[in-house]
Amino acid sequence: MNNAKIALTALTVVVALMTLFVRIPLPSRGYFNFGDVAVVFSGLVLGQLAQNRKFLWGAAAGGIGSALADIIGGFGLFAPITLIAKGMEGGLCALASGRPRYIRWAFLLLGGVSMVAGYFIAETLVPSIGLQGAVSEVLPNLIQAGGGIAGGTLTYGAFRHVAGEAGRKGTP
Amino acid sequence: MPMLKLSALALGTGWFFWLFVFGPLYSHLPAQSAALAVALLWSYLRFGRRETISLLKFCLPFVAFLLAFGLIFHFTRLLGRQDWLEDTIVKCLVFPSSLTFLKIMLSYVTYLDILRLPLSMNRRIDMITVKSAFQKGSRALKRFSWYLNTYSGLKSRHRIRYAMTRYACLIIALYLFLYQEIENSNRLLKNRYRHLG
């Protein structure tokens, strides 16, 4: 296992566990969680570690970890949607890593918006949720995405401080 | 033989999730209650009373959250829906039963089974590492959470700030811990394979 693979395994577990840590049910039968902080953090760490295909590394940690949490946590209906929506978010955050400030923020915001849009489109198509449920989840998802970007970026900053950016980048 | 065993376990898990989490019995309250009862009994027989109670304790905060919000939504008749309570109770049952069932199924997958799989040694070592990472991660999260509760330097008058700082600390601590654990166990296993055969 190389550094990126070790980090991917560790971060997939972190995303799954942190998503399960705090959960608040939503009107659309989904749930609000702070797992996005871990998804954004994972994307940023893996974006630093992976030499190429950054998007796939970030998407794998965010998507698989969150989908696992959905399945274990009894929200299995959302697992396929989560795999794509959170995968997009994690992937775009990985692309944001190491870029100049404005481009980085643009990618992070794009990641958050893609997550919200992904859930909205998919939930509209699910008969048991429909447009009404999908609309009611837009605001909590936006808060989740915003909190994820803010929390994930701050967590990543603190992590870089702990791990020491020089030399080893995303590895502890 | 291990292939047969792992296939049976995968089929059993898939069947459970198809039936109770994704499929026809998801909103069937008696079936969900029975599934939880069977899962808990199985857990009691396999892991013992202490482990089963600790698993239930792990689920309790999530279930309490779900129930509290479900009740609020039910009494405020949010979105005009009448089925909030029913939906919440189902989720409260599905969460512990699926978690318990998955834990039981995974406990049957031993390291020896993985070692006997017809895969390359590197692939088998990677699989063992992933299995141990998941086991260690859930145990470490509980421990780190407890440590952080005792750490007065982290406490703040602003509850949200305290909760966010604690959450960020947990992410970093868990990642650092798991990274080291995976790196070490992977290196040890590969060394053992290369030099001890």
- Of A90-104, A142-156, B140-154, which range is least confident? B140-154
Alpha carbon of B103: minimum distance to chain A alpha carbons (Å): 10
Of residues A164 and A50, more confidence is placed in A50
Domain count, chain B: 2
| Chain B residues within 8 A of A156 when measuring between CB atoms | none
Q: Is the same domain home to B51 and B134?
A: no
User: What pLDDT is recorded for position B67?
Assistant: 81
Q: Is the same domain home to B141 and B61?
A: no
User: Does B115 fall in a domain?
Assistant: no
User: What pLDDT is recorded for position B70?
Assistant: 77
Query: Does the distance separating the beta carbons of B70 and A1 come in below 8 Å?
Result: no
Give pLDDT tens digits for A49-59.
Answer: 887 888 899 99
Q: Is the same domain home to B161 and B127?
A: yes
Pick B178's closest partner by Cβ from A10, A71, A162.
A10
Choose the mutation target among B179, B185, B187 for the interface with A, i.e. most A CBs under 10 Å.
B179
Considering only CA atoms, which of B129, B139, B144, B128 is closest in space to residue B103? B139
Give pLDDT tens digits for A21-30.
Answer: 776 666 555 6
| Residue that has been written with the tokens 């129930």 in this structure | B67
pTM of the full structure: 0.78
Most confident of the following: A94-98, A108-112, B46-50, B112-116: A108-112
| Chain B residues within 8 A of A171 when measuring between CB atoms | 179
CA-derived radius of gyration, chain A: 15
Looking at B109, B144, B173, which one is the last position of a domain? B109
Looking at B50, B77, B109, which one is the last position of a domain? B109
Pick A71's closest partner by Cβ from B21, B130, B183.
B21
User: What pLDDT is recorded for position A167?
Assistant: 45
Q: Is the same domain home to B160 and B125?
A: yes
pLDDT confidence tier of residue A34, bands split at 50, 70 and 90: confident
User: What pLDDT is recorded for position A40?
Assistant: 94
Average pLDDT, chain B: 84
Rounded-to-integer distance, Cα B196 and Cα A72, Å:
38
Give pLDDT tens digits for A75-90.
Answer: 767 888 899 999 999 9
Give pLDDT tens digits for B88-111.
Answer: 788 788 888 888 888 888 888 888
Helix or strand holding residue A86 (H, E): helix A79-96
Q: For the domain A3-163, what is the CATH code? A: 1.10.1760.20
Residue-range definition of the domain harbouring residue B186: 120-197
User: Does B7 fall in a domain?
Assistant: yes
Q: What percent of chain A has pLDDT over 70?
A: 83
Question: Chain A residue closest to B135 (CA)?
Answer: A13
Q: Is the same domain home to B65 and B139?
A: no
**Angle between helical axes of B159-196 and A138-163 (0-180°, round to 10):** 60
Looking at B68, B89, B109, which one is the last position of a domain? B109
* Intervals of chain B under pLDDT 50: none
Q: Is the same domain home to B129 and B100?
A: no
User: Does B177 fall in a domain?
Assistant: yes
User: What pLDDT is recorded for position A63?
Assistant: 93
Question: Chain A residue closest to B61 (CA)?
Answer: A22
Rounded-to-integer distance, Cα B106 and Cα B121, Å:
21
Alpha carbon of B180: minimum distance to chain A alpha carbons (Å): 8
Q: Is the same domain home to B86 and B124?
A: no
| Chain A residues within 8 A of B55 when measuring between CB atoms | none
Of residues B40 and A172, more confidence is placed in B40
Quick check: B92 and B68 in contact, CB under 8 A?
no
* Residues of A within an 8 Å Cβ radius of B: 1, 5-7, 9-11, 13-14, 17-18, 20-25, 27, 29, 31, 34, 37-38, 41, 45, 71-77, 132-133, 136, 151, 154-155, 158-159, 162-163, 171-172
Q: Count how many pairs of residues, chain A against chain B, have C-beta atoms within 8 Å.
A: 120
Query: Does the distance separating the beta carbons of B176 and A14 come in below 8 Å?
Result: no
Query: Does the distance separating the beta carbons of B167 and A21 come in below 8 Å?
Result: yes
Average pLDDT, chain A: 83
- Of A96-100, A163-167, B71-75, which range is least confident? A163-167
Q: Is the same domain home to B5 and B64?
A: yes
pLDDT confidence tier of residue A166, bands split at 50, 70 and 90: very low
Q: Is the same domain home to B61 and B90?
A: yes
Give pLDDT tens digits for A120-141.
Answer: 998 888 765 667 667 777 888 8
Q: What percent of chain A has pLDDT over 90?
A: 40
